[in-house]
Amino acid sequence: MQFPIHHSEAKSILSSTSGFIAQAGFTHSLTPARNCTFGCTYCYVPTMGVYGGLKREDWTRWGQMTTFKTNAAALLGKSLKPHQIIYCSPLVDPYQPAEETEEMMPAVLDAAIASPPRVFAIQTRAPLVLRDLDRLRTLSSLTTLRVGFSITTNDERVRRLYEPHCAPFESRLDAVRRLREAGISVVATLAPVLPCDPEALVRAAIDATGCDLIGDPFHVRATKSSGATTRDAGFRISRKNGYEHWHDPVFQASLTLRMQETARAAGRRFTIGPEAFATLAQPLRT
């Protein structure tokens, strides 16, 4: 995959949270780059416009380039405080494809290791996170480290339609297992739930993580009148492939119930919305 990678200096690196992430209990968000080269067709981020420090070129050319904040780790080192509950990141996957060559996250993790916040949560869908396993282990010995691992469908045809640059289902399950074996607290985030076999997806995610699941159907304007929502490119794929009903609130409610019942049968919970993401924000130590 080829894409332009730009660099810039940020003025600050930790942002006070608002909205969904604040409701989940996070005090700060950390975004090491602008624009995400996974370029998922449904990605909510570019629908927020300039919110969150994005520039016009980011939301008009979502996924076609990225801009790394070269001083992210240095700024983080000066900004970290022990009470902070940090979500990395609401605006990009910190292990997006460009991270493979940029290697921003090792320095970010080193800063967190030197001055651990109360909680450091990483949200990713990339097995590349395993590259930093030693640092993740060290950080998790010092504070609460959580990895939220996005697993959106168990149907590879669907995955290629909606998120062709992301890792296949089995690779993600394997990455989750390896994080867990290394003693890292890892939670599967089934968000958004793409067309799939929902019962099989829930069972596979519980089997890999051994814990409760976080989820969310596609965001739609019918139930969320403002803020981030599903990108048009995702809707177009759904329409073209007969998956429109996955955006229908009535279907989504029944889908959520099915997934909750399957999780319950396995002795686990499947929750949605800020209540669900609050799992990632909770400290392991008091």
Among 125, 146, 219, 268, binds ligand SF4 (CB under 6 A): 125
**Shortest approach of ligand SF4 to residue 121 CB, angstroms?**
14
Task: Examine residue 92 and tell whether it contacts ligand SF4 (CB under 6 A).
Answer: yes
Does 40 contact ligand SF4 by CB under 6 A?
yes
Is 127 one of the binding residues for ligand SF4 (CB under 6 A)?
no
Q: Does 24 bind ligand SF4 (CB under 6 A)?
A: no
Smallest separation, CB 127 to ligand SF4 (Å): 13
- Least separation in angstroms between CB 97 and ligand SF4: 10
Q: Does 231 bind ligand SF4 (CB under 6 A)?
A: no
Structure tokens at 42: 């449904």
In the list 30, 45, 179, 201, the residue contacting ligand SF4 (rule: CB under 6 A) is 45
Q: Name, in order, each residue with C-beta under 8 angstroms of 247's C-beta and a sequence gap of 6 or more.
A: 218, 220, 230, 235, 238
Burial degree of 252 (CB within 10 A; 0-12, 13-18, 19+): buried
Q: Is 43 in the site for ligand SF4 (CB under 6 A)?
A: yes
Distance (Å, rounded) from C-alpha 187 to C-alpha 55?
31
> What is the SS3 assignment for 130-188?
HHHHHHHHHHHHHCEEEEEEECCCCCHHHHHHHCCCCCCHHHHHHHHHHHHHCCCEEEE
Minimum Å gap between C-beta 35 and ligand SF4 is: 9
We find the least distance from the C-beta atom of residue 56 to ligand SF4, in angstroms, to be 17
Return all residues near 150 (Cβ < 8 A) that are at least 6 apart: 93, 123, 124, 125, 172, 188, 189, 190, 191
Asked if 39 is part of the footprint of ligand SF4 (rule: CB under 6 A), the reply reads yes
Q: Using CB under 6 A as the criterion, which residues of the chain lie in contact with ligand SF4 when the complex forms?
A: 36, 38-40, 43, 45, 63, 92-93, 125
